[in-house]
Chain A
Amino acid sequence: MSLPATSGAAGEFRALAPPLAKDGLLRLTPLNQRRLANFRHNKRGYWSFWIFLVLFVLSLFAEFIANDRPLIASYEGELLFPIFNDYPESKFGGFLARTDYRDPFIADEIKAHGWMLWPPIHYSYRTIERALPTPAPSPPTWMLTKAQCTAAAARVLAPGKPNNGCADIEWNWLGTDDQGRDVAARLIYGFRISVLFGLALASISSVVGVAAGAVQGYFGGWTDLVMQRLIEIWSSVPQLYLLIILSSIITPSFFVLLGTLLIFSWVSLVHVVRAEFLRARNFEYVTAARALGLSNARIMVKHVLPNAMVATLTFLPFVLNGSISTLTALDFLGFGLPSGSASLGELLLEGESNLQAPWLGLTGFFVIAIMLSLLIFIGEAVRDAFDPRKTIA
């Protein structure tokens, strides 16, 4: 009884605020929980999201899936990592500056003094297969006749000796293109560069577009009027011609293309964000924030932007798709990435100029169609998730 009470009654100070809930890294608000549930409820979009995510993450490790050098090699007791390091060929008794591990001479040499661990596909996107069973473009190996296989295997192994046919040659799962490069390998690299390019372009242009739209909508008046007119003039510039002219002056690379496309693509989100800001700037909670003495920048970021994000997020998947198809289109026309780089557009172009090799065009078509469809399904699910009227029935 002599102990002082430890509860709040005795102390002058008693904390009224409840402790901050800390359950895990993702403290999801009830609203976001409902959105997540809505997203999951759209089965097609949810599955598309996972399929796309798996494909994208796999393609990020393209070097470990399709490469013309082994992952690990052991040579004379020394452990080598050819995938990370360039070893001169002199190490293995050759004379080139960089080792061609696919060269039968080097391969035999390493096998004799150790072992090699190869990725599943023994080609990189630019590896040229020299021992093609048919003249390039050659069809997928599983489409070859036994005679073609046997002849090819004989050329690689020992001429004249009997061999196991198709089992003895390196497989081109999807055939090769007109320069003898493995289509499957080019596909993996091309998918990666398309998605990365699309993501980069969509996210940078959204940031620029949202910022521009926010400023226009929030301040309105002359700011809005002048910027709107500028944007109208800007977006009436014929993009494609400008890109063609530019690509004849500067060698297009990933970043040059990203920059030039960005000059025009940021406009796409401005209208949506501007409209949302124009609507929201007269809401009472914005006036209330102003009465609290908040700066314009803070009002825009903290009070208006979250309420304008729904429209933006709904549009984002379509901006992403647009970015990917733009790159593909440019590559197809030959104004995109430098020739030789892995790109889906170039694959389509090869398919178009080699109609006798339908595996080129068909592969390109299916990969692009499936990729864009997956993204659209995800976009639909995102839209559902942010739809305030949608309830889980």
Chain B
Amino acid sequence: MSEAPLLEVRDLRVAFRQSGAEFPAVKGIGFSLARGRTLAIVGESGSGKSVTALSILRLLPPAAHVSGSALFKGEDILKCDEKRLRAIRGNAVTMVFQEPMTSLNPLHTIARQIGEILELHGARKGPALTQRIVELLTEVGIPDPAQRLSAYPHQLSGGQRQRVMIAMGLANRPDLFIADEPTTALDVTVQAQILTLLKDLQSRHDMAMLFITHDLNIVRKLADDVAVMQRGEIVEAGSVERIFKSPQHPYTQALLAAEPKGNPPKSDPSAPVVLEARDVRVHFPIKRGLLRRTIGAVKAVDGVSLKLRQGETIGVVGESGSGKTTLGLAVLRLIRSQGPIVYLGQRIDGLSFKAMRPRRRDMQIVFQDPYGSLSPRLSIADIVAEGLIAQGTRLNLAERREIVARALADTGLDPAAMDRYPHEFSGGQRQRVAIARAMVLEPKFVVLDEPTSALDMSVQAQIVDLLRQLQEKRSLAYLFISHDLRVVRALANEIVVMRQGKVVEQGAAAEIFANPRSDYTRALFAAAFAIEADRSGVVAQ
């Protein structure tokens, strides 16, 4: 390594000022990155990894105080003036963000957005510009790029939008490419495709890549070097092989051990059936014309049957848009559906919203987003107690608080914190509150709608353990909806693989994991376990 590194960060410190106090986010870190290499910064949320990435391009809000140096080709980016900075941004150093839904301007066509960055840093105009845009779109794997030039972001899928973002990043042949969790918001199958694309492009253009992620599986697949961050400090750094083979720092070891693991409890074929649904269909009519005539239907769920026994878990897997969540809402009768649903020997599919209310006590749901599923203006004691009040249990305030405290303790939260508000809790803790809200009514059947997808890897494992523990203790029946097959493998007895509302494959989990029959299932597994992109086209782009 005789040549100087492309990027060298020394003693980088970032602090945020709030209410007169300083909160350090990054506490003096240093790393270097050579041309053609990929450095992954790994850590949980709040570890300062995104702040590090943003501070290199000085994209942090003015409340942040940045010190130290970031030498890019020998020039300190943190000290250069605004004009020089603009010349570097989007030209020599580019960045791709996490959320493809909001990082493109919805009012401009993709050609205009990619064209803008080319015009700003180069002098291309007219047909040459269009040609270059088509080249870039081809390079990032957008089908029929010439036709897509005038497409607006909403006409593209999440994966395609992220491809457009990558095309914008590549537009001026950058030396350094920063990717801040570019695949976290995407499906596993799409994630695999995007990662494959990134790796491919990097080796083709000999770029240096700084990759921010919380997912160690991606790191193993993609990076050459790793820096593990915890609370604003790099606790361990080194080559991927060394870190994965012999992690030195206890935090790295904990991260590596944090994969959701274990096996579901054995299912008992003689256990009573809690829920049986036959040929459930959810169709949303498409209405057109002056008279609003129904001309067709979006078949969100089309003929799904399942039989769930006490103490058992059915995992529903599939890409986004496959109808998993709709199925979950339908069996809980939160949306209208056709087809018989039998709950504890009683048909519930014809009941009104009002008639369902007393029955809701036994059937609960936990949602994906722990930030959106808790009302920000109620204390967690109030949130958990709400179900008790709604179900008309005659309890005085002290008794109710006691039950709530027990439910919180059961989910591993400190009951002493029950009068606090959701914003004072971390994502994992909020998800525990959401679980406690469902469990306080002592249900028999719980729909878990991607309860781990919004959480960090290490927290995911804890939530999976908690769910399994609760299931064993109370012999609960779970309908577990997820696109993350690693979590499903740790929990489900039976699997339903869905694609575009239809069941592709259904059966015992062990069997399907060992021997998937359909191409679609195989593609899902490849993407989830090996992060390999499917090339046969069965999955979404």
Contact = CB atoms under 8 A, between A and B. Distances in A.
Interface of A: 15-18, 20-21, 29-31, 283-285, 287-295, 298, 302-303, 306-307, 391-393
B18 A391 contact: yes
Contact of B334 (A16, A291, A294, A391): A291
Contacts, number: 101
Given A30-B421, A294-B386, A306 B375 contact: yes
A17 B390 contact: no
A17 B401 contact: yes
B373 A284 contact: yes
A18 B415 contact: yes
Contact of B390 (A294, A307, A391): A294
A31 B334 contact: no
A244 B368 CA distance: 58
B132 interface: no
A289 B434 CA distance: 11
User: Which 10 A-B pairs give the minimum distances between C-beta atoms?
Assistant: A293-B360, A17-B405, A16-B405, A284-B373, A17-B401, A292-B387, A306-B377, A293-B357, A284-B372, A294-B390
A18 B416 contact: yes
Interface string B401-445: 110111001000001101111001000000000100100010000
Nearest to A303: B375
A21 B401 CA distance: 13
Interface of B: 18-20, 329, 332, 334, 356-361, 363-365, 367-369, 372-379, 381, 386-387, 390-391, 397-398, 401-402, 404-406, 409, 415-416, 418-421, 424, 434, 437, 441
Contacts of B378: 302-303, 306
28 contacts: A15-B402, A15-B405, A16-B405, A17-B415, A18-B419, A20-B397, A30-B420, A30-B421, A31-B421, A284-B368, A285-B375, A287-B329, A287-B373, A288-B373, A289-B386, A290-B334, A291-B360, A291-B365, A292-B386, A292-B387, A293-B359, A293-B361, A293-B387, A294-B357, A294-B386, A306-B375, A392-B20, A393-B20
Nearest to B356: A293
Contacts of A283: 372-373
A20 B334 contact: no
B232 to A, nearest CB: 21
B415 A288 contact: no
Question: Among the interface residues B357, B397, B424, which one has the most CB atoms of the partner chain A within 10 A?
Answer: B357
A291 B19 contact: no
Given A16-B402, A288-B365, 19 more contacts: A17-B415, A18-B405, A18-B418, A30-B421, A283-B373, A284-B368, A284-B369, A284-B372, A285-B373, A285-B375, A287-B373, A288-B434, A292-B390, A293-B356, A293-B358, A293-B391, A295-B390, A302-B378, A302-B386
Contact of A16 (B374, B406, B421, B437): B406
A15 B377 CA distance: 26
Contacts of A21: 419
| A20, A293, A302 interface centre (most CB from chain B within 10 Å) | A293
A302 B213 CA distance: 38
A291 B406 contact: no
Contacts of B386: 289, 292, 294, 302
Contacts of A16: 402, 405-406, 409, 415
A285 to B, nearest CB: 4
A18 B409 CA distance: 12
A306 B332 CA distance: 27
Contacts of B357: 293-295
B186 to A, nearest CB: 20
Contacts of A20: 397, 401, 419
A291 B19 CA distance: 39
Contacts of B419: 18, 20-21
B369 A29 contact: no
Contacts of B398: 17
Contacts of B420: 30
A284 B367 contact: yes
A20 B397 CA distance: 10
A285 B382 CA distance: 13
Nearest to A18: B416
Nearest to B376: A307
Given A17-B405, A391-B18, A391-B19, A31 B367 contact: no
Given A16-B402, A293-B390, A307 B418 contact: no
B215 to A, nearest CB: 24
A30 to B, nearest CB: 7
A100 B358 CA distance: 70
B361 A288 contact: no
Given A16-B415, A30-B421, A292-B437, A287 B367 contact: yes
Contacts of A31: 377, 421
Nearest to B363: A291
Contacts of A294: 357, 386, 390
A306 B382 CA distance: 13
Contacts of B20: 392-393
A102 to B, nearest CB: 57
Contacts of B387: 292-293
A297 to B, nearest CB: 11
A29 B423 CA distance: 12
Contacts of B379: 29
A302 B377 CA distance: 9
A303 B20 CA distance: 34
Contacts of B374: 285
A283 B20 CA distance: 34
Contacts of A302: 378, 386
Contacts of B334: 287, 290-291
B19 A392 contact: yes
B380 to A, nearest CB: 12
A288 B446 CA distance: 12
Contacts of B365: 287-288, 291
